[in-house]
A and B are shown apart, each in its own frame.
Chain A
Amino acid sequence: MTSRVADHWLPKLVLSPTLAASLLFVYGFILITVALSFTESRLLPNWEWAGIERYLDLFDNERWWTSAANLAIFGTLFIALSMAIGLLIAILLDQKIRGEGFLRAIYLYPMALSFIVSGTAWKWILNPGLGLEKLVQSWGFPDFTFDWLVNPDMAIYTVVIAGVWQSAGFAMALFLAGLRGVDSEIIKAAQVDGASTPTIYRRIIIPTLRPVFFSVTLILAHIAIKSFDLVMALTGGGPGTATDVPAIFMYQFSFSRGQLGLGAASAVMMLMTVIAIMVPLMYAETKASGAGR
């Protein structure tokens, strides 16, 4: 009897501190941020009601739209390229080649670095006066130029390069795990039926990786939306404000410029973006996996 009561209550009891902590520190602070975005808060929180004024300020701010556009470019390319390259490497590694463990580690290791480190390293590599451009020019191609890092129109793509370099290996690891989970009987059956290897991948293996695609999108999307450290280390949001992203916008307006209300409004908009992308995705996924069973 006692043991059954304990069985019933113990898990709940053990989980409750974590639950309380996340309710307070995650959801509680989300609510406070939302509330702040409707106030006159400047340097310090100030609970005077301002209606949607902070949002009007935000939508009138050119820099916010630069940030939003940059996030769209960076997010799309970052997720698409990380996934494509990750999947390609995973399929190549899956061909039962020699030294797979070694190669796998090489591709996965960038993930172990912090974005600050890879951002700084890429800053030097891409700097026209120090890195790639100078190297190729000194090899005897004086007309070679690669100045994306200092070109306001192209700088955001350098962030994509560094981000993909760092995260493609991670996507590869997830895809590889997925590939290993595919039932070899089905593949053998397809081979018996005379299907070529590309066809097997296209028609059988990749469709069964659907949940992996979902997980990879989910993880990469939130890395993209939160991206702050990579941009700070690589370009500092520059040249000018050319590579500004919403996270930097939020930080600067809340903490450096004494516009806490506006910063909160931008944070809420970021949250809305996450919800707008994630909720339909998660809904579609649960529905599809439910129907599959």
Chain B
Amino acid sequence: MKLKFVAAAIAASFVAGASYAAEVEVLHWWTSGGEAKSVAELKKMMEAKGHKWKDFAVAGGGGDAAMTALKARVVAGNAPVAAQIKGPSIQEWAQQGVLADISGAAGEWDKLLPKVVGDVMKYKGKYVAAPVNVHRVNWLWINQEALNKAGGKAPTNFDEFFALADKFKAAGMTAIAHGGQPWQDATVFESVVLGVGGAKFFNDALVKLDPKAIDSPTMLKSFDTLAKIKTYIDKDAAGRDWNLATAMVMNGKGGMQFMGDWAKGEFTSANKVAGKDYACVPTPGTANAYTFNIDSFAMFKVKDAAVQKGQLDLATAIMSPEFQEVFNLNKGSIPVRSGMSDAKFDACAKKSIVDFNATAKSGGLVPSFAHGMAVPSATQGAIVDVVAKFMNSNMSSKDAVAALVKAAKTK
């Protein structure tokens, strides 16, 4: 009797909640400077279309806090209209049966997006998420002045890379500026695997997790290369934040850094100019490859017809050329939509756009492993643990490969 009453009360509160929600609620964790500006742009676009925007911003923890809030809301049966979710996590959420089909807004997306990107946004062939931007991860940032002194030629393979690193070291610099945090270790690792093995090997080993590819001489060589990179990193790197490592490259204490294109934001805000103060080049051996990290909004199932219309309008607005341009100019990434003018973007972004389109055709476009685009979070975490251990101990390359084989089986 009592239970029935409680159940009725809970049901009533849900009904009340659903009929009240005639607004578009969006969960995101873009709360800092340029990012917040970009979100405000989206809000303006939605309001121009006559929708009420409800901001559901949860800052902190690189999205962990937002995910916790999202889980609580979904379990309570009160999901927001859209939430910032990316990569295979989209599939994980879709498997829970809570994501909405937005084919109504995605009619032309197959033509506008490279297939590898479109596949990430789809569940069982239907679009369930809208992509916002593309970050390239396999960038190498070099202090231009130091590079000029060392001959002025950016390294295109690992032999040249280590030759340059030796010159930096001889000049009294920390050759490789790095922050010893697991995700940064993984960022270097994936660029090394891509550089040593190429895009196909990267795909087999770190996306498809093929045991034959992981347990191979190429992977062993990748770890050997990583071990050599380790010797050029200063010992204070443990726990250093990525932007402090970027600052080292900026002020000439460090020579170069492996980091995604969000590092450009640091250079730009310090009024440094690409080509004059710093150089952005693909990491050694990856000129014809591109590891992408794409932010996206996953769309949750909603009942109210007006809100459903708002959801489709939101998806359309996100993919519109105007939003893609404004958002990415603010954030330092590039538009995911093809066929847009690059006139307003800087030199690094222009190169990124050219490479994105070229690799989409050649097959060199691969999802970033370190940034949650390639494999489910559990497997990614297990592999990152191995890489972090390798970077911070005397583990041999052979043991690392064996540990990697085991970690890749994590389900």
Chain A residues with a Cβ under 8 A of chain B: 42-45, 62-63, 123, 127-130, 147, 149-150, 152, 155, 235-236, 238-242, 252-253, 255-259
A240 to B186, CA, bound (A): 11
- In the complex, are the beta carbons of A152 and B392 less than 8 A apart? yes
Q: Does B71 interact with chain A (Cβ within 8 Å)?
A: yes
Other A-B contacts than A63-B385, A150-B236, A258-B92, 5 sampled, CB-CB below 8 A, are A238-B180, A238-B238, A255-B64, A256-B377, A258-B376
Q: Does B281 interact with chain A (Cβ within 8 Å)?
A: no
- In the complex, are the beta carbons of A150 and B235 less than 8 A apart? yes
Q: What is the minimal beta-carbon distance from B352 to any residue of chain A, in angstroms?
A: 28
A258 to B68, CA, bound (A): 10
Q: What is the minimal beta-carbon distance from B381 to any residue of chain A, in angstroms?
A: 4
Q: Which residues of A contact B237 (CB under 8 A)?
A: 150
- In the complex, are the beta carbons of B236 and A127 less than 8 A apart? yes
- In the complex, are the beta carbons of B181 and A236 less than 8 A apart? yes
Closest to B387 in A: A240
Q: Does B96 interact with chain A (Cβ within 8 Å)?
A: yes
Q: What is the minimal beta-carbon distance from B132 to any residue of chain A, in angstroms?
A: 22
Q: Which residues of B contact A130 (CB under 8 A)?
A: 236
- Assuming the contacts A43-B92, A44-B74, A44-B96, asked whether A257 and B238 have C-beta atoms less than 8 A apart, the reply is no
Q: Which residues of B contact A258 (CB under 8 A)?
A: 89, 92, 376-378
Q: What is the minimal beta-carbon distance from A252 to any residue of chain B, in angstroms?
A: 7
Chain B residues with a Cβ under 8 A of chain A: 64, 67-68, 71, 74-75, 89, 92-93, 96, 180-182, 185, 234-239, 376-378, 380-381, 385, 388-389, 391-393, 403
Q: What is the minimal beta-carbon distance from A282 to any residue of chain B, in angstroms?
A: 34
Q: Which residues of B contact A45 (CB under 8 A)?
A: 75
Q: Which residues of B contact A241 (CB under 8 A)?
A: 182, 385, 388-389, 392
- In the complex, are the beta carbons of A240 and B64 less than 8 A apart? no
Give the interface SS of chain A, mostly helix, strand, loop or mixed: loop
Closest to B234 in A: A129
A242 to B395, CA, bound (A): 13
A9 to B236, CA, bound (A): 64
A130 to B237, CA, bound (A): 12
- In the complex, are the beta carbons of B181 and A43 less than 8 A apart? no
A147 to B239, CA, bound (A): 13
Contact of A255 among B68, B75, B239, B391 (CB under 8 A): B68
Q: What is the minimal beta-carbon distance from B295 to any residue of chain A, in angstroms?
A: 17
Q: What is the minimal beta-carbon distance from A22 to any residue of chain B, in angstroms?
A: 20
A147 to B376, CA, bound (A): 36
Contact of A238 among B64, B74, B75, B392 (CB under 8 A): B392
Q: Which residues of A contact B93 (CB under 8 A)?
A: 43
- In the complex, are the beta carbons of B235 and A147 less than 8 A apart? yes
- In the complex, are the beta carbons of A129 and B236 less than 8 A apart? yes
List, sorted by A's number, 28 A–B pairs whose CB atoms are closer than 8 Å.
Answer: A42-B92, A44-B74, A44-B75, A45-B75, A62-B385, A123-B239, A128-B235, A150-B237, A152-B393, A235-B239, A238-B181, A238-B238, A238-B388, A239-B238, A240-B180, A240-B388, A240-B389, A240-B391, A241-B388, A241-B389, A241-B392, A242-B393, A256-B64, A256-B67, A256-B377, A256-B381, A257-B381, A258-B89
Q: Which residues of B contact A62 (CB under 8 A)?
A: 385, 403
Q: What is the minimal beta-carbon distance from B87 to any residue of chain A, in angstroms?
A: 12
Give the interface SS of chain B, mostly helix, strand, loop or mixed: helix
A150 to B181, CA, bound (A): 12
Q: What is the minimal beta-carbon distance from B105 to any residue of chain A, in angstroms?
A: 25
Contact of A240 among B182, B235, B378, B380 (CB under 8 A): B182
- In the complex, are the beta carbons of B239 and A239 less than 8 A apart? yes
Q: Which residues of A contact B377 (CB under 8 A)?
A: 256-258
A150 to B240, CA, bound (A): 10
Q: Which 9 A-B pairs have the closest CB atoms?
A: A240-B392, A150-B238, A129-B236, A239-B392, A240-B388, A239-B238, A257-B381, A257-B377, A258-B377
Q: What is the minimal beta-carbon distance from A261 to any residue of chain B, in angstroms?
A: 10
- In the complex, are the beta carbons of B238 and A149 less than 8 A apart? yes
Q: What is the minimal beta-carbon distance from A63 to any residue of chain B, in angstroms?
A: 5
Q: Which residues of A contact B389 (CB under 8 A)?
A: 240-241
Q: What is the minimal beta-carbon distance from B391 to any residue of chain A, in angstroms?
A: 6
A259 to B392, CA, bound (A): 25
- In the complex, are the beta carbons of B239 and A240 less than 8 A apart? no
A129 to B92, CA, bound (A): 43
A147 to B238, CA, bound (A): 11
- Assuming the contacts A128-B236, A239-B180, A239-B239, asked whether A257 and B378 have C-beta atoms less than 8 A apart, the reply is yes
Among B185, B388, B403, which residue has the most Cβ atoms of chain A within 10 A?
A: B388
A240 to B239, CA, bound (A): 9
Q: What is the minimal beta-carbon distance from A137 to any residue of chain B, in angstroms?
A: 13
Q: What is the minimal beta-carbon distance from B97 to any residue of chain A, in angstroms?
A: 11
Among B92, B181, B185, B392, which residue has the most Cβ atoms of chain A within 10 A?
A: B392
- In the complex, are the beta carbons of A252 and B236 less than 8 A apart? no
Q: What is the minimal beta-carbon distance from B8 to any residue of chain A, in angstroms?
A: 20
A165 to B169, CA, bound (A): 39
A63 to B388, CA, bound (A): 11
A44 to B239, CA, bound (A): 31
Q: Which residues of B contact A129 (CB under 8 A)?
A: 234, 236
Q: Which residues of A contact B67 (CB under 8 A)?
A: 255-256
Q: Which residues of A contact B239 (CB under 8 A)?
A: 123, 149-150, 235-236, 238-239
Closest to A42 in B: B92
Q: Which residues of A contact B403 (CB under 8 A)?
A: 62
A147 to B68, CA, bound (A): 36
